[in-house]
Amino acid sequence: MEKETSAHRSAHCLVLSYPTQGHINPMLEFSKRLEHKGVKATLVTTSSISKTIHKAESSNIALETISDGYDEGGIKQAESIPAYLERFWRVGSQTLVELLEKLSASGSPVDCIVYDSFLPWALDIAKKFGLVGAVFFTQSCAVDNIFYHVHEGLLKLPLSEPEILLPGLPPLEPQDMPSFIYDLKSYPAFFDMLVKQFSNVDKADWVLCNTFYELEQEAVDWMAKIWPLKTVGPTIPSMFLDKRIEDDRDYGFSIFKPNTDACMKWLKDRPQGSVVYVSFGSMAVLEAEQMQEIAWGLRMSNSSFLWVVRASEEAKLPENFVEEMSEKGLVLQWCPQLEILNHEAVGCFVTHCGWNSTLEALSFGVPMVAVPQWTDQSTNAKFIMDVWKMGLKAPVDEKGLVRREAAEHCIREILEGERGKEIKKNAFKWRKIAKEAVDQGGSSDKNIEEFVAKLVLHSQ
Ligand code: UDP
């Protein structure tokens, strides 16, 4: 397919991602959008994670690596999370400089670094080399807004009020806040990293966010008063939304190998809107008791289900569950999530509410049962239920677990209930709006266009 603006070929962007699936996916898709508009994009991640990536043969996007200082196992090899982040900063900076020098020497000099907001040190390097520096937020604008308030000392911690009022956001209860905030003791190093996203953001030339204006209008308008924030999402392969970019079917750089054929074959003859798709993403670790309750909830709902259970989580399933449920359900270690959500048989998504999964469900119009686990997922769940009205947040008991009756009730309500009807109407609406945002002349498309045009000017 023709590039939109081939005159832009001269500019070269490094797109530097934090090394997890939930960060690589949106940054890879953003790279494809840049390439489509004529900018050369090179995705950069760590050598440790790149060893585990299943990359489509036909993928056009170049992949380069830097080191986090743990080339064999990444964060799993590190003594602690703080040790990992500190070493990643040091070794990452040094190897990013080496990569810039290598690309320059090979006749492919870099004009711009689009860097993951989790890696603010990349901006110092961009500035040192006279390059354009663009920070890319992979979480929702609402969540960015919350951490910005913490950084500025405008949100006092620990939380002491029953209701938190922040500009651009609806009233939030403590449990609607990201887990690193409502439970400060849980992951202090990750809490620090998220606050430090804002340490040098005012020096960035561009502030990009993986959301779309229509979805988070109030939060975006408020943040845009501080920096010229540009929404560029949803970062979903063009083949599923605006269809402008000819894409390989194997669209991702996947850390786990998807079992595509088994999924599609199993879904093929299921009635429209009848299947419950269940996934807790690439990282969440559920308590065994929680897994069992979800399993029972699925069984009691009497629905067909497709459940992604990563290999490391499999032992938590009830004994013989897979065999006993084989008529009704398919349990797989990883699947091509976008193809599943795009399939007409799928009528409900039981999700951990990772930001990518949330955006994907919104963009494909699949109603959600929100079962958030940690980090930003609690905030996303609040918005899914109360702001976008795209699903139900499953209630939890005093131990913080979703019990089988609650899971069953939410699934039935979405598939067959009165509230489900309303949610399906909203789902249809969001699907349309998401598509329009990235389509030619849409809010996100215009922002990417502006970014590319200025980049080209800079590189001449
Ligand atoms: N994903 C996938 N197959 C699966 C489960 C997840 O391709 O079986 C993808 C999903 O489409 C999303 C990403 O993995 O793009 C997960 O990102 P998210 O932000 O939802 O959650 P995280 O894994 O970061 O917790």
Render pLDDT for 297-338 as a digit per residue (tens, 0 to 9). 999 999 999 999 999 999 999 999 999 999 999 999 999 999
Query: Mind listing the pLDDT tens digit for each residue in 184-232?
Result: 999 999 999 999 999 999 999 999 999 999 999 999 999 999 999 999 9
> What is the distance between the alpha carbons of residues 72 and 76, in angstroms, rounded to a whole number?
9
Which residue from 255, 282, 283, 305 has its CB within 8 A of the most atoms of ligand 1, so it is best to mutate?
A: 282
User: What rounded mean pLDDT belongs to the chain?
Assistant: 95
264-304 confidence digits (pLDDT tens): 999 999 999 999 999 999 999 999 999 999 999 999 999 99
Candidates 360, 198, 345, 338; CA nearest to 276 is 345
d(CA 238, CA 43): 18
ipTM of the complex: 1.00
Which of the 8 DSSP states describes residue 403? -
Write the CA distances from 96 to 131, 179, 208, 322, integer angstroms.
Answer: 13, 31, 21, 45
Note the pLDDT tens digit of each residue in 9-25.
479 999 999 999 999 99
Average pLDDT over residues 166-184: 98
Q: The tokens of 186 are what? A: 């849980």
Catalytic residue IDs: 23, 116
Q: Which residues of 401-411 are buried (b: 16+ CB within 10 A; e: fewer)?
A: bbbbebbbbbb
For residue 26, the ligand 1 atom closest to its alpha carbon is: 15
Report the predicted TM-score, pTM, of the whole model to 2 decimal places.
0.97
pLDDT higher than 50, residue 8: no
Smallest Cα–Cα separation from 134: which of 232, 7, 23? 232
Pull the structure tokens for residue 454: 């200025």
Q: Ligand 1, atom 21: nearest CA belongs to which residue? A: 354
What number does the ligand 1 atom closest to the CA of 308 have? 8
Q: What is the mean pLDDT of residues 47-68?
A: 86
Distance (Å) from CA 79 to ligand 1 centroid? 26
